[in-house]
Each structure stands twice: as structure tokens, then as C-alpha cells.
């Protein structure tokens, strides 16, 4: 019997209409366009302004985009994995609601939470379910309404994050396309460096935690940057070595869009020229769980069957890793 691999067979994405530019941020906090651009590579980010819509809305739109583009019947989906750091609410998983709303009535669903590595870990999870032979269509969604947890008076974080959603469909393949290898890591040393202090079981919400702004993202930028630069490059290099890939063999790096300098450092270690690196951070900022699928959505028409892709990510926790994928189809 031939080996089953999990191939990516369809892509979808969604970003809200409202564009928050660096120029607008200049009127909100003490910063400027040049400072933001040179340090992060970000020019603008999208914000979901509607107070009545949460992360589920972003995920539903991304899923609908994938379903319509690929002509997939939602009833055929066996499983929906919802990668997110900003679920609609605690306890009731966002993915469950999303699956029902898109008509995936025969699927089961759950949320996967690993900060900015949520989608990468989700790719590994989706692949295992496909490889088991029991599941034929696994929909992996990555979405975050980061604006809901950002303090727009904190210039260290408000310049970085944006809102968005992305989707990939995984299906069985017996021709050697799809997820071929992964190297995933985590280390609790990062617990204090990137976090939201309050709102969990350790520090439940009170009037005091709200007044102290403890429900917003805190980031120790220097520490996170240092770990991200070395670790994202390390795992990307390792997955290449393990699969006997040189820079010339890799067609695309699909990096988490956190900071252009981190992306550049990873590409340099992999000996990849700029034209082989997927980049949309200038348009969307860091959309956390949506960065990787939004890259694929933006570059889908440039991908060719058999292309070697290395996905790489780094996130709070710390969590990080790389996934090696052989692309399964030519541009439609």
C-alpha cells in the first residue's frame, strides 16, 4: 500500500476593509512611519472595526473563500481545526461555531492555541489525521482579531499587529506531495516575555485587572526578537539538512510575518534570495494565526506542482518550528 501524505489542495483568506496606516498611528502614539518601517517592515495593517464581530467572522469569511474557489461541498469536510490566539469566548470553542456556520455539518472541530505558531502546529495536526486514513478532508483555519487584545496607547505592540483569517484544505495524496517533514519545538522560558496577564484561571478578570490594562498583550520586544531570530532560522536550517535540501532546492520560504528582520535572518541562513521569500507583512502586519495561510493565498498563482516549501514560525510560549511541504497543484 502506498504511503498517504497530506496535500494542500485549496486555499482561502480574508482581511477586513479598514486600513490602519503608519500615518494614522502617528496621530495615536509617539511613533513615525520611518521608525516602524525600518524596524518591522510594516506599512499598514487591517482592522475589524465592527464591535459585534469576533475572530469567528474572520475565519468564516476565509473558509467561505476557500469553499467557493475550490468548489468544495462543506458537508464533505470531516474535520475543522481552528488555530487562534483570540477565540470569540472561553469554553465554547470558536472552531465549533465556525464549522456549523459554514455548513460543515459532518465535521468535528476544536481550537488549537499556540500563539503565533498555532497554524504551523495545526498543519502538523491536520497531516496526522489525514495520514491515519480515516479523514479525507481536513480544513485548517487560522484567524485572529488581534485588535481586541491590543492597547492602542502602547506603541511597542500596536504598530505590529493586524486582523485577518486564512484557510488551507488538506486531502490524502499517494504521489509524494504534501506535508513531508516537520520540526516543532516549545520552551516555557518565554512565558513572561509575550503574554496577557489577566483573564485566565491564574488571574481572573476584576475591576482592578481591567483598570491596570492587564487584558492587553504585553511583549518584551528585545527578548522575543532575540529568540525568534535564532530559533526560526535554526529549525528552518535543520529541516533542510534533514531532507538534503540546499538553498537552490527550496522554491519558497513561507515565514510567519512578525518582523521583516526576523524573516530576512531566516532566509539568509537558508541561503535563499529575496524573490524566494513570501512577504506580505507590509500590507497586513502580524495577523498571528493567519500569517501563513494569507501568504499562500497571496502567492498561490506563483506556486507550481512539485515546488518545495518551508513553512516557519515563532510565537509566544515560546513556540516555534518548521514544516516541509511539497506543493500539490499548478496554478488554476
Q: What pLDDT digit, counting tens, does each position of 226-260 carry?
A: 999 999 999 999 999 999 999 999 999 999 999 99
157 shares a domain with 30: yes
Out of 22, 116, 158, 173, which one is annotated catalytic?
116
169 shares a domain with 133: yes
- The answer to whether 289 and 118 have CB atoms below 8 angstroms apart is yes
189 shares a domain with 129: no
Q: What is the pLDDT of residue 4?
A: 98
Out of 231, 259, 286, 295, which one is annotated catalytic?
286
Active site residue 173: no
Distance (Å, whole) CA 12 – CA 327: 16
Buried b vs exposed e over 263-296: b needs ≥16 C-beta within 10 Å?
A: bbbbbebbebeeebbbbbbebbbbbbbbbbbbbb
54 shares a domain with 162: yes
Q: What is the pLDDT of residue 135?
A: 98
Tell how many helices (H) and how many strands (E) occur in the chain: 10, 13
147 shares a domain with 73: yes
Residue ending a domain, among 127, 160, 176, is 176
Among 121, 130, 139, which Cα is nearest to 66's? 139
SS3 320: strand
Share of the chain above pLDDT 90, in %: 99
In a domain, 69, yes or no: yes
Out of 158, 231, 256, 295, which one is annotated catalytic?
256
9 shares a domain with 152: yes
H-only helix segments in 147-219: 207-211
Distance (Å, whole) CA 256 – CA 164: 13
In a domain, 332, yes or no: no
Using DSSP bridges, classify how beta strands 308-315 and 252-255 pair: parallel, antiparallel or unpaired: parallel
CATH number of the domain that residue 38 is part of: 3.40.47.10
Active site residue 286: yes
In a domain, 322, yes or no: yes
Domain that holds residue 72: 5-176
Q: What is the pLDDT of residue 70?
A: 98
- Per-chain mean pLDDT for the chain: 97
SS3 20: strand
Please give the tally of structural domains in the chain.
2
Active site residue 116: yes
H-only helix segments in the chain: 22-26, 33-40, 55-70, 94-101, 118-131, 207-211, 221-242, 260-269, 281-284, 291-299
Residue ending a domain, among 123, 157, 176, is 176
Distance (Å, whole) CA 26 – CA 14: 26
Amino acid at each position: 500500500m502506498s504511503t498517504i501524505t497530506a496535500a494542500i489542495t485549496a486555499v482561502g483568506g480574508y482581511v477586513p476593509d479598514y486600513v490602519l496606516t503608519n500615518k494614522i498611528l502617528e496621530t495615536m502614539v509617539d511613533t513615525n512611519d520611518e521608525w516602524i518601517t525600518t524596524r518591522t517592515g510594516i506599512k499598514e495593517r487591517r482592522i475589524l472595526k465592527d464591535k459585534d464581530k469576533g475572530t469567528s467572522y474572520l475565519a468564516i469569511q476565509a473558509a467561505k473563500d476557500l469553499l467557493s474557489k475550490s468548489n468544495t461541498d462543506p458537508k464533505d469536510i470531516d474535520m475543522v481545526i481552528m488555530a487562534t490566539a483570540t477565540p470569540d469566548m472561553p469554553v465554547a470553542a470558536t472552531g465549533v461555531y465556525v464549522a456549523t456556520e459554514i455548513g460543515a455539518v459532518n465535521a468535528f472541530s476544536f481550537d488549537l492555541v499556540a500563539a503565533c505558531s498555532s497554524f504551523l502546529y495545526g498543519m502538523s495536526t491536520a497531516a496526522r489525521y489525514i495520514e491515519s486514513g480515516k479523514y479525507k478532508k481536513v480544513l485548517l483555519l487560522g484567524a485572529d482579531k488581534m485588535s481586541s487584545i491590543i492597547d492602542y496607547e502602547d506603541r511597542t505592540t500596536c504598530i505590529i499587529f493586524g486582523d485577518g483569517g486564512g484557510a488551507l484544505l488538506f486531502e490524502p495524496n499517494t504521489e509524494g506531495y504534501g506535508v513531508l517533514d516537520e520540526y516543532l519545538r516549545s520552551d516555557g522560558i518565554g512565558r513572561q516575555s509575550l503574554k496577557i496577564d489577566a483573564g485566565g484561571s491564574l488571574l481572573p478578570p476584576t475591576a482592578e485587572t481591567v483598570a491596570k490594562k492587564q487584558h492587553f498583550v504585553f511583549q518584551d520586544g528585545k527578548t522575543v526578537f532575540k529568540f525568534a531570530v535564532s530559533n526560526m532560522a535554526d529549525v528552518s536550517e535543520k529541516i533542510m539538512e534533514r531532507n538534503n535540501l540546499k538553498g537552490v532546492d527550496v522554491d519558497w520560504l513561507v515565514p510567519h510575518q512578525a518582523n521583516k528582520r526576523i524573516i530576512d535572518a531566516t532566509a539568509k541562513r537558508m541561503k535563499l534570495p529575496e524573490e524566494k521569500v513570501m512577504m506580505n507583512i507590509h500590507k497586513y502586519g502580524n495577523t498571528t494565526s493567519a500569517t501563513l495561510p494569507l501568504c499562500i493565498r497571496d502567492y498561490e498563482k506563483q506556486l507550481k506542482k512539485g515546488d518545495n516549501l518551508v513553512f516557519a514560525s515563532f510565537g509566544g510560549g515560546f513556540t516555534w518550528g518548521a514544516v516541509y511541504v511539497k506543493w500539490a497543484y499548478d496554478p488554476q
